[in-house]
Amino acid sequence: AQSVSQHNHHVILSEAASLELGCNYSYGGTVNLFWYVQYPGQHLQLLLKYFSGDPLVKGIKGFEAEFIKSKFSFNLRKPSVQWSDTAEYFCAVRAGANNLFFGTGTRLTVIP
Amino acid sequence: GAGVSQSPSNKVTEKGKDVELRCDPISGHTALYWYRQRLGQGLEFLIYFQGNSAPDKSGLPSDRFSAERTGESVSTLTIQRTQQEDSAVYLCASSSAWDSSYEQYFGPGTRLTVT
């Protein structure tokens, strides 16, 4: 069965620190990869997605993610976080089926 | 334009009662999904509708759960004889058949508490 692992449950950073959130999935075929973000009190929204082509994808608000097929990974990065990035981040994979498989999420707290 | 809407936003019910949760997808989106998010866990797929095709019910956890969709519009998720373990946030999402990346747009969710 497909699974998505997010190893960091809660990350606390100071403003301007660099961020990397891990995401690994288990599926050997073609995948579409997504990062969703949920800001406090708001609903899930798409941060970025990988469908095909360049494995380094750029999303909104300065976020990027790199698809490394050999490592089954799709880590999220941002060079300098801001207080407004405080949110919960979910990695998701579409693997053959129509629905998405989600990780358990990573809560990011940015300290001003 | 309008996003995915869900109602109610919060629902408290007694164990054993039935509940209905409603989802209004984005207009023109043919695909509709229901997910469940229990506290501290990721989103768990429940059911998927695509146009007039038979729904994919593979994620429904038991026969107490059912969902219907009228054409390409609203959907209702029904939980019969609710149990405490049904307490969760129920999320609805929709996507467009014309979007080859299958991006899903999520509603705000319904927080269900079974007492």
DSSP string, B34-75: EEEE-TTS-EEEEEEEETTSPPB-TT--STTEEEEE-TTS-E
Averaged over B16-20, what is the pLDDT? 98
Say whether A90 and B107 touch across the interface (CB within 8 A).
no
Beta strand pairing call for A101-102 and A45-50: unpaired
Question: When comparing pLDDT for B102 and B28, which is higher?
Answer: B28
The answer as to whether B105 is a domain residue is no
Cα torsion through A2, B43, A108, A45, rounded to 10: 110
Q: Render pLDDT for B46-96 as a digit per residue (tens, 0 to 9).
A: 999 988 888 999 999 999 999 999 887 899 999 999 999 999 999 999 998
What's the rounded Cα separation, in Å, for the pair B57 and B66?
8
pLDDT score for A39: 94
Tokens 């609903």 sit on residue: A43
**Domains, chain A, ranges and CATH?**
3-111 (2.60.40.10)
Give me the domain span that covers residue B63: 5-96
Q: Above 80 in pLDDT, residue B98?
A: no
Nearest Cβ partner of B102 from A32, A102, A103? A32
Number of domains in chain B: 1
Percentage with pLDDT > 90 across chain B: 73
pLDDT score for B101: 66
Say whether B33 and A99 touch across the interface (CB within 8 A).
yes
Contacts of A4 in chain B (CB under 8 A): 42
Contacts of A105 in chain B (CB under 8 A): 42
Contacts of B7 in chain A (CB under 8 A): none
Q: Above 60 in pLDDT, residue B1?
A: no
pLDDT score for A112: 92
Q: For residue A51, which amino acid is it?
A: F
The answer as to whether B51 is a domain residue is yes
Residues 93-112 of B with CB under 8 A from A: 100-109
Q: Above 80 in pLDDT, residue B31?
A: yes
The answer as to whether B112 is a domain residue is no
Q: Render pLDDT for A1-43 as a digit per residue (tens, 0 to 9).
A: 678 999 889 999 999 999 999 999 998 788 899 999 999 988 8
Residues 4-33 of B with CB under 8 A from A: 31, 33
**Cβ–Cβ contacts within 10 Å for residue A87, how many?**
20
The answer as to whether B85 is a domain residue is yes
Contacts of B50 in chain A (CB under 8 A): 98
Q: Render pLDDT for A48-75 as a digit per residue (tens, 0 to 9).
A: 999 889 999 999 999 999 999 999 999 9
Which range (A76-85, A100-109, B5-14) has the least confidence?
A100-109
- Distance (Å) from the alpha carbon of B47 to chain A's nearest alpha carbon: 8
What 3-state DSSP class applies to B106?
A: strand
CATH number of the structural domain spanning residue B70:
2.60.40.10
Tokens of A27: 């599926």
pLDDT score for B2: 79
The whole-chain average pLDDT of chain B stands at: 92
